Chains A and B, each alone.
Chain A
């Protein structure tokens, strides 16, 4: 009585997955390749920012210089753009959270009429091409006087963040056991109290992940802000966009580094929240 053996060809083709040494080596190669793929393009930007002179076919600049850094840092538009970007992003995130978290809770827990249709509607900002939205929005802004205003930009950034926030918080709340809230209310707490002291702390990792995505989305936003925010509200990405049109590569490189640095600092700070477990909780173990 022979045990049913698996088909031979499958084993032969994929022997390397089972051999632990082979697997380790391949993984090492893969990790190195990925590190190169992710890191080296960024590195070339850094090199360009210090390039006094860099012509083909040199692999590194033939002359190094701080001149471009000086030029950029002396430019008052740079600091104001940075300040603007990094103050708008938190405002956008907080405002989106304030609006989306209740909605997420409602979708997860309560009997919202037309729930499925509404949830589908909440996907539209992502499904419709943003550029098309921005142009129509600009016309609307002009009519209601929001063009070239701070709040005009904030509301525009929220288009990108609303989807993330709503869907992720819905999933987060859904994954929290409703009986916990039940128990709190059995013990005499009001619905709000139960929410604040029981549900919210459990939902926090998911909310943080959603907020992180929102913050980054706001920092990244260039196209809409370019249409709606000029001439008085220039954010970092918009400035970078117009700088890329300038042919002084090192200047755009300096700028890129400047814009990327705070984000990378954020990365280090946010490391602990980006563990798969947190994100899984945030996504409701999708």
Chain B
């Protein structure tokens, strides 16, 4: 079994099936084309996106619906094509696709989530990309404490 060096969890065995491909990388990280998605019970519902190429690179993410239970996905035609997703159908989160918002901890007191550009994963192919929305509906710096009072449902990844 291959071993991955991780930023937060030391060395981990992983199976090749748990690798997610990002053929285009991420904006500002275009050469990062493979990530392991890690979950740890003590940090649930956080998801760690650990780069396989760079041990020191690990994004923290939350499923978009954990941050905003009413979040409505919008994936552009171009991105759907890249992920081999049906262009016409409504996407089913958690079954067909996974939508994760990357978290930032830049400020002194709070965390924020990029709801404008969630990571969208085609669960059937394990291909993923960062799908930027052009509709100005969600913030790229959605403050998380502001949403703390909302109830969230448990979601499996």
Q: Do A and B come from one complex?
A: no
| Contacts from B to A (Cβ < 8 Å) | none
State the A residues within 8 Å of B (CB): none
